[in-house]
Structure 1
Amino acid sequence: MSTILITGCSSGFGLETAKLFLERGWDVIATMRTPNPGLLPASERLRILALDVTDPASIAEAVMSAGPIDVLVNNAGFGAPAPIELTASETVQSLFQTNTIGTLAMVQAILPQMRQRRAGVIVNVTSTVTVKTLPVIGIYRASKAAVNAFTESLSVEMQPFGVRVHIVLPGRSPETRFGENARPHLRGLDDPDYAPLIQQFIRSVQDDTGPVTHASDVAKAVWRAATDPFAPLRIPGGADAELWMAEAGL
C-alpha cells in the first residue's frame, strides 16, 4: 500500500487531492495548520496531522509521526496581490517563508528516506502565473518561480537515486481560497496611480468565463505525477493551465 503526504489540505487543491487518493485506495496523510477531521471522509487509511511548513519543529514532528512516505505533495501556500512598490516587507518575507522556504524544508525533511530507499515521488504545486508576466502578483509569482527553479535542479539530482520529481502548475481556480486569503494583504486600491490596475486585476480574478482550473483537475495532475513513471517534469493542472503552458512553449 502506498502512502502520500499532502500539505495544505484544509481547502482547495490539497483537500481535493486527499479525497482522490483516498478514493483510489491509498494511505493518506493530510496535513493542515489546524486539523479538522470533518473535512475528509472517515477512513482507516486516513491520518490528519498538524503541520505548519514555516515552523521547523512542526515539520520535524509531522515527519516523525508520518513514518515512511512514498509521495510528498507540497501544496501549502498563499497569495498576496499588491503592486511590488507597495508590498510590505513583512508580506514579502511571509510569502517566501511559506511558498518557497516551507516547500524546500518539506523536501529536505522527506528526501533522505526516499533517497535511501531509492524510490519515491516529490510533487511541488506552483502556478502558471510563473510562465506568464502578470501585474499585481509579482512577489507571489517570484515565490512560486523559485520553487520551479529548485525543483528543476532537484529532478536532475535525484535521477541516480530513483526518486521522481514533478511540478504541477494550476491555472486560475474559482474553487480555492486564494482570493479570500489574499484579501488582507491587498494594497493600493486607494492609490490613484495603482487603483485602475488593481481593479482590473480583481475583475480578471472574478471572471468565470473561459477555461479555468478546477480543484479536481489539480488532483488528477498530482495523481498522474504520483503514478505515471513517464510523466513529464511539468504537468498543467487545468484547461487554462494547458493553454498558458502551450503559449510559453512548455
Structure 2
Amino acid sequence: MSTVMITGCSSGFGLETARLFLARGWDVVATMRTPDAELLPASDRLRVLALDITDADSIARAIEQAGPLDALVNNAGFGAPVPVELTPMDTARALFETNTLGTLAMTQAVLPQLRERGAGVIVNVTSSVTLKALPLVGVYSASKAAVNAFTQSLAIEVEPFGVRVRLVLPGRSPTTRFGANAGVHLGGLEHPDYGPMVQGILAGFRDTSGPVTEAQDVAEAVWRAVTDPGTPLRTPAGKDAEEWMREAG
C-alpha cells in the first residue's frame, strides 16, 4: 500500500486531493494546523496530523508520526491580494516564510527517506500566476515562482536517486476557501490611487463565468503527477491555467 502526505488539507485543493487519494486506495496522511478528522471520510487508511510548515519542531513531529512515505504533496500556502507598493513587509515575509521556505523545509525533511529508498515523488503545488503577470499578486507570485525555481533544480539533482519531483500550477479558483483566506490580507481597497484598480480586479477574481480552476482539477493533476512517471515537470490544473501554459510556451 502506498502512502502520501498532503499539507494544507483543511480546505480547498489539499482537502480535495486527500479525498481523491483516499477514494483511490492510498493511505493518506492529511496535515493541517488545527486537525479536524471530520473534514474527511472516516477510513482506517487516513491519519490527520497537526502541522505548521513554518515550525521546524512541528515538521519533525509530523514526519515521525507519519512513518514511511511514498509521496509528499506540498500544498499548504496562502495568498495576499495587495499592490506591491502597499504590501506590508510583515505580509511579504509571511508569504515567503510559508509558501517558499515552508515548502522547502518539508521537502528537505521528507527527501532523505525517499533518496535512501531509491523511490518516491514530491509534488509542489504553486500557481499559474507565475506564468503571467497579474496585478495584486506580485509578492505572492514571487513566493511561488521561487518554489518553481528550486523545484526545477531539485528535479535534476534527485533523478539519479530514483526520486521524481513535479510541479502542479493551479489557476484562479473563486469557489475554494483560498480566496476567502486571501481576503484577510487584502490591501489597497480604500487607497485614493489604487482603490479603483483593486475593486475592478477583485470583481474579476470572483467572476466564475470564464475558465476557472476547481479543486477537483488540482486533485486530478496532483494524482497524475504522483502516479504517472510520464508527467512533465510542470502540470497546469484548470482550464485557465492550461490556457496560460499554452501562451507561456
Give the TM-score, by structure 1 length.
Answer: 0.98
Deviation of 1:179 (Å): 2.0
| Equivalent residues of 2:123, 2:166 under 8 A apart | yes
Aligned to 1:24: 24
Which region of structure 1 is more displaced relative to structure 2, 184-193 or 239-248?
Answer: 184-193
Deviation of 1:185 (Å): 1.3
Residue type matched to 1:52 in 2? Answer: D
Where do residues 214-233 of structure 1 align in structure 2 (5 Å cutoff)?
214-233=214-233
1:39 aligns with 2:39: yes
| Equivalent residues of 2:173, 2:179 under 8 A apart | no
CA–CA separation in structure 1 for the residues paired with 2:143 and 2:38: 31
Aligned to 1:246: 246
Deviation of 1:186 (Å): 1.2
Aligned to 1:123: 123
Offset from partner CA, 1:203-229 (integer Å, 9 cap, x none): 110111111111011000011011101
Where do residues 187-226 of structure 1 align in structure 2 (5 Å cutoff)?
187-226=187-226
CA–CA separation in structure 2 for the residues paired with 1:187 and 1:219: 30
Flag as ranges the 4+ runs of structure 1 deviating above 3 A.
none
Residue type matched to 2:228 in 1? Answer: D
CA–CA separation in structure 2 for the residues paired with 1:24 and 1:179: 28
Q: Percent identity?
A: 69
Can you give the 5+ residue segments of structure 2 that lack an aligned partner in the other structure?
none
CA–CA separation in structure 1 for the residues paired with 2:225 and 2:58: 26
Deviation of 1:172 (Å): 0.7
Where do residues 1-250 of structure 1 align in structure 2 (5 Å cutoff)?
1-249=1-249
Aligned residues: 249
**SS of equivalent residue, structure 1 residue 49:** strand
Can you give the 5+ residue segments of structure 1 that lack an aligned partner in the other structure?
none
**SS of equivalent residue, structure 2 residue 184:** helix
CA–CA separation in structure 2 for the residues paired with 1:155 and 1:175: 32
Give the TM-score, by structure 2 length.
Answer: 0.99
Across the aligned residues of Structure 1 and Structure 2, the Cα RMSD in angstroms comes to 0.7
Deviation of 1:61 (Å): 0.2
